Amino acid sequence: MSIADPVLKAQAITKEVSSPEGMLTILSQVDLTIAAGETVAVVGASGAGKSTLLALLAGLDEPTSGRIWLNGAELTALDEDGRAALRARHVGFVFQSFHLIPSLTAIENVMLPLELAGRPRAREAAAEALAQVSLAARERHYPRQLSGGEQQRVAIARAFVTRPAVLFADEPTGNLDAATGERIIELLFDLNRASQTTLVVVTHDQAIARRCGRIVRIDAGRIV
């Protein structure tokens, strides 16, 4: 897949939301093209529109106007069910707050996207993914029994287990201390290199941004 056939493409996307003060423009006429295998950091001040851009690119939200393509399919032409199906096939997520399901064990959390996608041998694949993040011994532990760093490692295993075309990470070290955060970032980039996934990271951490092949800076809803 060349840049002529990118894994992610946003064309003139604008996102407006209503507020007590009237319409608020969060993103304005954003164009962005990301090639397969790229590592891209999205940086900018708080409230600049970084997380909104990520949500739109991933099909978690819809732009007010503009078009978005993910792995060759036009996200903006799909309804919510269509976008969910496309995400299940092509996208992995790592969030700041882990988003693990408290009532499921580590291995069950990692199995979940495989089961939702109807993939065979989900338990075997999930066990392998947990071993890759050095948590084979914690398979049967619930999130509450794991440290923050361990929970984020489970989340990373869950994100990579489906072998996604694109992995979105939103402030992946935001809730972790510096040393744990550094280990998580090492892991994220190591796994990303091994799987050749496209990685899009929203971060305020310059050290993380510098590890990416490209930095996209957002200021007041526009790419600068």
Mean pLDDT calculated for residue range 144-148: 94
Query: Does any domain span residue 200?
Result: yes
Query: Does any domain span residue 149?
Result: yes
Mean pLDDT calculated for residue range 150-159: 92
Question: Which residues, 6 or more positions from 150, have their beta carbon under 8 angstroms from its beta carbon?
Answer: 135, 138
pLDDT in tens, 117-130: 888 899 999 999 99
Output the six-digit token pair for 17. Answer: 């939301």
* C-beta of residue 34 within 8 angstroms of C-beta of residue 7: yes
Kindly report the CATH number assigned to the domain that includes residue 149.
Answer: 3.40.50.300
Query: Does any domain span residue 167?
Result: yes
Query: Does any domain span residue 191?
Result: yes
Query: Does any domain span residue 152?
Result: yes
* Residue 3 scores a pLDDT above 80: no
Query: Does any domain span residue 140?
Result: yes
pTM of the model: 0.88
Please give the pLDDT value at position 117: 81
Please give the pLDDT value at position 25: 94
Please give the pLDDT value at position 2: 45
Query: Does any domain span residue 13?
Result: no
Comparing CA positions, the residue from 134, 149, 224 lying closest to residue 183 is: 149
* Residues of the domain holding 187: 37-48+77-223
Query: Does any domain span residue 64?
Result: no
Please give the pLDDT value at position 8: 96
3-state secondary structure of 124: helix
* C-beta of residue 169 within 8 angstroms of C-beta of residue 160: no
pLDDT in tens, 95-119: 888 889 999 999 999 999 898 888 8
Number of domains in the chain: 1
